[in-house]
Chain A
Amino acid sequence: ETGVTQTPRHLVMGMTNKKSLKCEQHLGHNAMYWYKQSAKKPLELMFVYNFKEQTENNSVPSRFSPECPNSSHLFLHLHTLQPEDSALYLCASSQDGDRLNTIYFGEGSWLTVV
């Protein structure tokens, strides 16, 4: 039981498709994150939301569109992706003011763009 649940775990999509990744956290945290993990690269921070408000957009292409309807849910809408967007997408959450200051990750969604 991770506390952060991501669906789907695996997704294959064509370059013209529209799909979404979903993340739900059951930890009562206020901040949620999307990271992209590609081989031999550092985890790339994509977006940060704090109390549903976007606080960080790390120069992510517009073909990735985040949505945060509430502090527990985070979506990543995908449209007109490129093969180089194939990667593991990790969702995470944290609680500001938590003296432990720890970020908790989901198990990731494997995305393959064909």
Chain B
Amino acid sequence: AQTVTQSQPEMSVQEAETVTLSCTYDTSESDYYLFWYKQPPSRQMILVIRQEAYKQQNATENRFSVNFQKAAKSFSLKISDSQLGDAAMYFCAYSQFTSGTYKYIFGTGTRLKVLA
């Protein structure tokens, strides 16, 4: 069965600095998707960034970028120029097509604190 592991329950970063959140996953599939979702105190899960496994190029969305290492099954999120609004829980997620639909599996989350 596929699993997603986030080994950092909590991280802190100074405003304007850079932080990297770690994620590893386990799968025997070759075709899948990886995501980072942000959950602020409002509890609304918001998509941050998405990576298709067949693409070698790392995804980038403004201040957010990933380091996707397929062989190592690693998918870390880098946040540059951290802002106070980045403070939230961050969830790494894995998705593949199975049983007629996409199945999404999430990690336990990393709480990011941004220090002013």
- A residues near B (Cβ < 8 Å) are 2, 30-31, 33, 35, 40-43, 45, 48, 50, 55-56, 88, 90, 92, 94, 96, 100-108
Shortest distance between the CB of B10 and any CB in chain A (Å): 11
A48 and B101 contacting across the interface, CB-CB below 8 Å: yes
List 8 interface pairs A-B (beta carbons < 8 Å), by A numbering. A42-B108, A48-B103, A56-B99, A56-B101, A96-B97, A96-B101, A107-B42, A108-B44
B107 and A42 contacting across the interface, CB-CB below 8 Å: yes
User: What are the 4 A-B residue pairs with the smallest beta carbon separation, nearest first?
Assistant: A105-B45, A43-B106, A50-B101, A31-B101
Query: Is B35 engaged at the interface, CB distance under 8 Å to the other chain?
Result: yes
Q: Among B9, B104, B109, which residue has its beta carbon within 8 angstroms of that of A33?
A: B104
- B residues near A (Cβ < 8 Å) are 4, 9, 33, 35, 37, 42-45, 47, 50, 52, 91, 93, 95, 97, 99-109
Once bound together, how far apart are the Cα atoms of A102 and B34, in whole Å? Answer: 10
Residue of A nearest to B99 (CB): A55
The answer to whether A103 and B102 touch (CB under 8 A), given A40-B108, A42-B4, is: yes
Shortest distance between the CB of B61 and any CB in chain A (Å): 13
Once bound together, how far apart are the Cα atoms of A9 and B116, in whole Å? Answer: 32
